[in-house]
């Protein structure tokens, strides 16, 4: 068997497979997993994959908008017995044919892909930033789903450091492999959690988008780096670590509430060195993330004593641009501003991009530190290895209602 060009670390085993319609499926087995290396094949009869979507360029903003009408038909809050992310059973023809620890597969209704770019020809035949009316291009790239566990209950905060390490290794592997696909300019792993965010599946999972362009957020960051000069992230991290908003100061990462927050509760996890993406992290950095990230999630859930809706966004450098200056960050943002109230991005934020804060960042940091202490005191780490044929019940752990 040929060696995988992007090996997986920490004893995690990678098994490659295909779904019935040709989509790629990857199993990432925990170190010490009781799962066998052979997996059942997907025997479903599926329709052919949809054609690659079209992107249209807004001439006023320069934004590329993908028109993905097929996504209107995707699963919407299905009952537990028809969970599309659980292992298949005779009564549930789900997306994953067999038992798993962590599974990654291509989205059936992707915003980008399944077509890939032509490295010899830019999208639309001209540069992406070229102005003009009526510009269109294929929305090439890849969209993947990342299942954190076979159980429908639980969260990345409750599955334990061993499983979190498998997830981190999977995200690093996918970042490396997707970055090498033709036409891909940026890779973005993320998790949406909670119906308030718009989640349509109650199963702990995330997604990965491989874009054919540098996203507007990252393009704005590159402009700030150009204006500031070298060392923007060093300066931000140094000043944040001196202040009162630090939540966790690790050896390789620091978690803090930033000086200027867009959302009521917002936490940034920033690497201490200029590492551009998860694929470039060291084993020690991944090990620290596998413990730090679940701690933060448990603290977020302890804030109001229930699972906090959030977006967990891995901000990474583009495939080619800014890799010496754009530093890996994980950002948690939540619209919840109190136990009973949400922040809605209405007129000023949505229309003008002019944000107004609802919670003083220092107060948010103090509340999160207190929640972190309570969550740490209540937490018991589950066993590192288990027989995946007998899934544990995660429903008794606070914070595991939905993802």
Return the minimum-mean-pLDDT range out of 162-171, 193-202, 285-294: 193-202
Q: Is the pLDDT of residue 126 over 70?
A: no
The residue behind tokens 């150009």 is 226
Confidence label for 389 from pLDDT (cuts 50, 70 and 90) = very low
pLDDT tens for 41-86 read: 999 999 999 999 999 999 999 999 999 887 666 666 678 889 999 9
Q: Using a pLDDT cut of 90, give the percent of the chain over it.
A: 81
Q: What is the pTM of this model?
A: 0.92
Distance, CA of 7 to CA of 14 (rounded, Å): 8
- Which strand (E) or helix (H) includes residue 174? helix 161-179
pLDDT at 396: 34
What's the average model confidence in pLDDT over 172-201? 94
pLDDT at 118: 83
Between 388 and 221, where is the model more confident? 221
pLDDT tens for 27-49 read: 999 999 999 999 999 999 999 99
- Which strand (E) or helix (H) includes residue 65? strand 64-67
pLDDT at 73: 61
Torsion over CA: 82, 87, 88, 89 (sign): negative
The per-residue b/e assignment along 352-363, b for 16 or more CB within 10 angstroms, e otherwise, is eeeeeebbebee
Distance, CA of 270 to CA of 263 (rounded, Å): 18
Q: Using a pLDDT cut of 70, give the percent of the chain over it.
A: 90
DSSP code at position 180: T
Return the minimum-mean-pLDDT range out of 180-189, 268-277, 344-353: 344-353
Confidence label for 403 from pLDDT (cuts 50, 70 and 90) = very low
Please give the structure tokens belonging to residue 64: 């590329």
pLDDT at 48: 93
What's the average model confidence in pLDDT over 245-274? 98
To the nearest whole number, what is the mean pLDDT of the chain? 91
pLDDT at 319: 96
Domains of the chain with CATH codes = 13-49+75-108+141-378 (3.30.428.10)
Q: Is the pLDDT of residue 392 over 50?
A: no
pLDDT tens for 269-306 read: 999 999 999 999 999 999 999 999 999 999 999 999 99
What's the average model confidence in pLDDT over 130-150? 94
pLDDT at 388: 45
pLDDT at 10: 87
How far out from the chain centre does Cα 280 lie? 17
Q: Tell me the catalytic residues.
A: 205
Using DSSP bridges, classify how beta strands 329-334 and 310-315 pair: parallel, antiparallel or unpaired: antiparallel
Residue 154 CB burial class (10 angstroms; 0-12, 13-18, ≥19): buried
Comparing CA positions, the residue from 176, 403, 383 lying closest to residue 286 is 176
pLDDT at 7: 81
Confidence label for 387 from pLDDT (cuts 50, 70 and 90) = very low
pLDDT at 121: 66
């Amino acid at each position: 068997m040929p060696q995988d060009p992007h090996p997986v670390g920490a004893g995690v085993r990678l098994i490659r497979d295909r779904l019935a319609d040709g989509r790629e499926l990857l199993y990432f087995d925990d170190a010490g997993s009781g799962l066998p290396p052979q997996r059942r094949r997907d025997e479903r009869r599926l329709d052919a994959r949809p054609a690659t979507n079209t992107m249209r360029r807004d001439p006023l903003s320069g934004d590329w908008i993908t028109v993905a009408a097929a996504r209107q038909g995707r699963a919407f809050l299905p009952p537990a017995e028809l969970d599309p992310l659980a292992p298949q059973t005779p009564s549930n023809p789900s997306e994953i044919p067999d038992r798993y620890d962590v599974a990654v597969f291509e989205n059936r209704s992707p915003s980008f892909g399944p077509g890939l770019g032509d490295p010899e020809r830019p999208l639309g035949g001209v540069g992406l930033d070229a102005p003009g009316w009526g510009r269109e291009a294929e929305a090439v790239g890849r969209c993947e789903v990342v299942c954190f566990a076979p159980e429908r209950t639980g969260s990345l905060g409750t599955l334990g450091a061993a499983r979190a390490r498998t997830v981190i290794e999977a995200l690093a592997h996918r970042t490396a492999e997707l970055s090498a696909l033709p036409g891909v300019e940026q890779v973005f792993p993320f998790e949406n959690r909670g119906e308030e965010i718009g989640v349509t599946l109650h199963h702990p999972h995330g997604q990965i988008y491989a874009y054919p362009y540098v996203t507007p957020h990252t393009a704005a960051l590159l402009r700030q780096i150009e204006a500031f000069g070298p060392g923007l992230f060093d300066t931000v991290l140094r000043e944040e670590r001196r202040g009162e908003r630090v939540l966790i100061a690790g050896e390789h990462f620091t978690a803090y509430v930033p000086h200027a927050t867009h959302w009521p509760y917002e936490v940034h996890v920033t690497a201490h060195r200029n590492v551009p993406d998860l694929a470039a992290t060291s084993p020690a950095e991944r090990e620290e993330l596998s413990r730090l990230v679940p701690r933060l999630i448990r603290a977020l859930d302890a804030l109001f004593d229930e699972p906090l809706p959030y977006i967990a966004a891995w901000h990474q450098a583009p495939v080619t641009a800014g890799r010496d200056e754009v530093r890996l960050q994980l950002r948690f943002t939540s619209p919840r501003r109190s136990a009973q109230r949400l922040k809605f991005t209405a007129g000023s934020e949505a229309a003008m991009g002019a944000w107004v804060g609802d919670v003083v960042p220092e107060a948010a940091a103090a509340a999160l530190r207190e929640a972190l202490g309570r969550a740490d005191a209540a937490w018991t780490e589950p066993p590192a290895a288990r027989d995946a044929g007998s899934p544990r019940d995660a429903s008794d752990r606070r914070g595991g209602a939905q993802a």
